[in-house]
A and B are shown apart, each in its own frame.
Chain A
Amino acid sequence: MADLASKLKSAASRLEPGWSEAALQGLARETSRRLVRRRRVTAAVALCAGVLLLVGVVSLVRAPAGPRVEVASTGEVVVHDAPSVRTLVIDDAETRLEVVAGAARFSVEPQGPRRVVVLAGRVQVDVVGTVFVVERRAREVRVAVDEGVVRVSFDGVVQRHVRAGEVSLFDEAALAAGPAAERPNEPTAAGVEAAPRDTSAAEREAGVAGVVPSPAPGSRPTERSGASNPARGPKAGKKPQPPAPDAPWRDLAAQGAFDEAWRALQATTPRDEPDDLLRAADVARLSGHAAAAVAPLERVVERFPGDARAPLAAFTLGRLFLEDLGAPARAATAFERARALAPRGPLAADALAREVEALAKSDSKARALERARQYLELWPRGPRAAAVRQWGGVREE
């Protein structure tokens, strides 16, 4: 055994590379080159990783979260998970939207001559082309601008321009129903200054809390009440007064108290005109009574087909059937009706896209494919093209 070990060690000791000095120098040079290459690759990988990390962080910070509304340059409005945003007017001259409760991020492409207005209580935001968030809170209205500039008005009087990175807060006086929301179908071409309210300047200013810098896009704003002056309405620490039990359902709805508005609505009947019927439908929908919203919406579509809001009513009906009532076949019919009422309207593309989705969900695959092809022919680069392709089963060419 020891003999074998000794023989093995002796034989193994003969195994040497036998390199000449020149061969060793050549190998040293090659190793140095590899070291340099490795350092460069390591640096490049670290740089790429850093860039990717930065891009990831930036996209996370800037990622639109929660309810959002996109207004394309064509005037088309696409609402993503924002049931509390309602469309008051949508035509060639104006797109008027209202935040009934909660918050929504608006992304508005430049519109040319068309006005885009967002209402939240008595606060009105005039948009040119920008990204911003409008939030109706319990005791204030908050407007935060991510990109561009918006013009914020209170009761029709321009208060200030809010620029990227700024937040404008309005205290609870702003939550009351305002004239702008009450007259949704009467846009004025002259702008918000042309719609003053019959109040003194001090009263008009009463709801303004001021402009504060935004901490960072996507981050939570600093809670702030601007009611430092007693003349400017209730203080921030004061508990908001519950709505009076006999308050009209419209006022309650305007304050975002949809459950109370729903109860008040049971004792009365909405007026037989589009605005009141749409408001009643919103109250039913947002108080969790989706089925009760069907009748007023159908009434608008059937009784007032010539009204500018009829396509919107049909479209809302389609969303209701599709998203809340699980009736995709009826949803498809409603979306089709929305298109028929305004074939060239701003809702037409979205209605056709949702119709494809509804048909697919109601197992009408052949019709879904047909409608999907129609959409892609009309709007090949439309914002819902990818979804339409998927729902309609259209294969990529």
Chain B
Amino acid sequence: MVARIIPLRQERPRPPGSDIERAFQTWAPYVAGVAIRLMGRDQDVEDVVQDVFVEAMRTLATLRDPAREKAWLASVAVRLVMRRLRRRRIARLLGLAETWDPSWLQAPEADPEQRALLRQVYRLLDDFPANERIAWSLRYLEGEKLEDVAALCGCSLATAKRRISAVQSVIEEALHG
């Protein structure tokens, strides 16, 4: 009897770049959502998403645990948004950029009350330094745990708490006061 060896599963060789394409299809909407919430504007979101995946090009292929893709892409998005917010704040201080305008955020899915709340919050956030604003947004808009906020911001837990608290007190006073 002649034994035939039949391969149980023959994997097709993956074309180059397939990891990044798959990751894009899977996570691009999520990254876009994070970017919109952190920036408080619809404009530039596509740029941020592209920047995230271009920067992710090298590292994504080396990630062994696919479950970490989401968290890792979020951390890249946070870093890039932080950079953009800092630049915008400096431009504002120099009189080269406008203050936050309600027309920047359409939020078609939100009801009128939610839209009013969001517009009020983003107008207030526009006056805070980027690192405080990002920490607060991650905690209250993204719903991240304090430990995750610290990790995403690249700071200690105490620093993350201090940044969140600095914004929270102003928001609370403005909304309740």
Given contacts A14-B114, A15-B107, A32-B21, contact A9 B29 (CB under 8 A): no
Closest CB in chain B relative to A85 CB, distance in Å: 57
Which listed segment binds A: B30-38, B74-82, B150-158?
Answer: B30-38
Q: Which residues of A contact B111 (CB under 8 A)?
A: 14
- Is the CB–CB distance between B107 and A14 below 8 Å? yes
Kindly state the interface size class of chain B when it binds its partner.
35 or more
Indicate with 1 or 0, residue by residue over A3-22, a CB within 8 angstroms of chain B CB atoms.
01101111110111111000
A30 at the interface (CB under 8 A from B): yes
Q: Which residues of B contact A292 (CB under 8 A)?
A: none
Q: Which residues of A contact B49 (CB under 8 A)?
A: 27, 31
Q: How far is the CA of A27 from the CA of B35 in the complex (A)?
A: 15
A 1-57 contacts with B by CB, 8 A: 1, 4-5, 7-12, 14-19, 24, 27-28, 30-32, 34-35, 38
- Is the CB–CB distance between A30 and B118 below 8 Å? no
Q: Which residues of A contact B36 (CB under 8 A)?
A: 15-17
- Is the CB–CB distance between A18 and B108 below 8 Å? yes
Chain A at the B interface: SS class: helix
- Is the CB–CB distance between A9 and B50 below 8 Å? no
- Is the CB–CB distance between A8 and B121 below 8 Å? yes
Q: Which residues of A contact B37 (CB under 8 A)?
A: 12, 15
Residue of A5, A17, A28 with highest tally of chain B CB at under 10 A: A17
Residue pairs across A and B with CB atoms within 8 Å: the count is 84
Q: How far is the CA of A15 from the CA of B45 in the complex (A)?
A: 12
- Is the CB–CB distance between A32 and B17 below 8 Å? yes
Residue of B17, B50, B115, B175 with highest tally of chain A CB at under 10 A: B50
- Is the CB–CB distance between B45 and A17 below 8 Å? yes
Given contacts A4-B175, A16-B29, A18-B109, contact A10 B114 (CB under 8 A): yes
B residues lining the A interface (CB < 8 Å) = 17, 20-21, 24-25, 28-29, 32-33, 36-37, 42, 45-46, 49-50, 53-54, 57, 105, 107-111, 114-115, 117-118, 121, 140-143, 171-172, 175-176
Other CB < 8 Å A-B pairs besides A1-B172, A15-B33, A17-B32, 17 of them? A4-B171, A5-B140, A8-B121, A11-B114, A11-B118, A12-B118, A15-B118, A15-B141, A16-B29, A16-B33, A16-B36, A17-B29, A17-B42, A24-B28, A31-B54, A34-B50, A35-B20
